[in-house]
Structure 1
Amino acid sequence: MTATPVYIVCSPRPQAGKTLVARLLSEFLLLKDGKVVAFDINLKEPSLLDYLPAITETAEIDGTYGKMQLMDRVILDDRVAKVLDLGFHAFDEFFKMSDEIGFLKEAARRNVHPIILFLASPDRVSARGHDMLRQHIPPSQLIVVDNEYVVRGELPLAWARGRLLSIGALPTFLKTYIDRQNFSFTDYLRQEKDSSTELHEWIRKSYLSLRDLDQQLVLQRS
């Protein structure tokens, strides 16, 4: 029986491209499955809720009640993929909570499969965060995202040892275009007739990378 996937998109620092990846993943899953539930755990705007309000709920982990509410939804085996856009301010607290409640073991018991998508960034804070996750998350469930807009050049060896998901860099003027809150990746693919445009190719390539990742994870979850 295939487990319900829970994607946790995270970084311990701001401006790593986390919400962009959460948007891409949420729209891809919505296109593929027809349904997805996203959770926005952010303090600052713009956040996932601003881009995808129809499928996104806000969540807080500052108090016990908020943590219980979030975990009750996330650990539900309902065959609907979940995407968590985990703000940098909540990074340490979320994984501390996960360790304290035995989240990974409980998820496995309930046929839920968490996948951590960690945004790589060339700084000490990110390196420490990645090291911490490697100590607690099985390699098959920890995926480093190489966002080429943030990471210039090759990833350090320590980052590239495990599973990787690469997101290509866009020119600044196109990055500004997709940062508009009413922009939809899927709508653009459907409406733009010229499939040779740089943005069309970038979205298509990103979706294909996510499709490949999803297929690998389906085999892993089965």
Structure 2
Amino acid sequence: MSRRTLVYFVCSPHSRTGVTTTARLLTDYYLWRGVTVEGFDTDAREPSYALRFPDSATVVDIFDVRGQIALFDRLLIPDETPKVVDVWSRSFDQLFSVIAEIGFLEEAERMDVEPIVLFHADASQMAASNARVLTSAWPNLWLTAVNNEGAAPLGPAAHDILENYAARAKILLPRLEAPIARALDEPDLSLSGLLMDSPVAMSLVVRAALKNWLMPIFTQFRSHELRIALQSSQFLR
């Protein structure tokens, strides 16, 4: 029996919440496992996500009909290749407007494609309200709340804030110490490559810290993937 094709919309209506970092981590998670993955960067102005994955990511302009065709036609192909869409904050409203207009989620169900929203939480009421609007409009939509402690720390109220997102699951990205975070921003650093063949020029301390940060995140991605597979199992329908 074939598996459902996973399509991740990594998003937030606000900037500086760590969306591109999560899209990068998720892509490197699949590459580390030796799984072919296809990425899409909706920031046509400064496509930092696509620049990190020139062989597997494409820049699409969601405000242009040609960009919409290039994106959604690919997302609906049930080829079992995970798709990762890095949703620029300025593209957030437009993306979900197009999704509603073309009936993407309904067509995805017919094509055995599983859309997943990785919604990045922040402390504002607006973000949580946006998340609830999505799950109200599409009750079967899988929405996971992502808490990036380095980009948008929620503080002591994190548990209560995340509860407002009505999410099916949660993913935590711990904060990195500043010197380690700077290494993460190196333009040529491949996180999947780091785990498979550590860069010789990298500090041993930095290398160890990055690995210790990455592996629990990749474990969360794997658990999340298995949970979705279980929920989507033909035997449970």
Match of 2:201 in 1: none
Q: Pick from 153, 158, 166: which aligns with 1:155?
A: 158
Unaligned runs of 5+ in 1: none
Residue pairs, 1:92-103, within 5 angstroms: 92-103=93-104
The residue number in structure 2 matching 1:118 is 119
Alignment CA distance shift 1:211-1:101 (3 Å)? same
The one-letter code of the counterpart of 1:178 is L
Cα distance in 2 for partners of 1:90, 1:97 equals 11
User: Residue 152 of structure 1 aligns to which amino acid in structure 2?
Assistant: L
- Tell me if structure 2 keeps the 8 A contact 1:3–1:77: yes
Out of 164, 168, 172, the position equivalent to 2:178 is 172
TM-score (norm 2): 0.86
Q: Secondary structure at the match of 2:122?
A: coil
What is the deviation of 1:103?
A: 1.2
Query: Do 2:30 and 2:37's aligned partners in 1 also have CA atoms closer than 8 Å?
Result: yes
TM-score of the pair, normalised by structure 1 = 0.91
RMSD over aligned CA atoms reads 2.1
Partner of 2:60: 59
- Distance in 1, matches of 2:90 and 2:205, equals 40
The aligned residue for residue 34 of structure 1 is 35
Matched, 1:5 2:13: no
Contact 1:2–1:221 (CA under 8 A) maintained in structure 2: no
Instruction: Point out where structure 2 has 5 or more consecutive residues left out of the alignment.
Output: 199-203
1:143-189 Cα offsets, whole Å, 9 max, x none, are 00011112232425252353211111111221111011111112222
Q: What displacement does 1:26 show?
A: 0.5
- Of 88-97 and 143-152, more deviation after overlay is shown by 143-152
Q: Structure 1: how far apart are the matches of 2:71 and 2:11? A: 16
2:212 corresponds to: 201
The residue correspondences of 1:128-139 to structure 2 (distance < 5 A) are 128-138=129-139
The alignment status of 1:47 with 2:48, answered yes or no, reads yes
Q: Encode CA deviations 1:88-110: one digit per residue, 9 max, x unaligned.
A: 01100110111111111110001
Residues 115, 141 of structure 1: 8 Å contact kept: yes
Q: State the distance in 1 between where 2:72 and 2:100 align.
A: 13
Equivalent position of 2:189 in the other structure: 183
Report percent identity of matched pairs: 29
Q: How many pairs are equivalent?
A: 222
Paired residues of 2:180 and 2:206 also in contact (CA < 8 A): no
Match of 1:73 in 2: 74
- The AA in structure 1 aligned to 2:139 is P
Q: Retained in 1: the 8 A contact 2:11–2:117?
A: yes
Counterpart secondary structure, 1:197: helix
- 2:42, 2:91 within 8 Å by CA — same for their partners in 1? yes
- Corresponding residue SS for 2:146: strand
Instruction: Quote the residue 2:105 is aligned against.
Output: 104
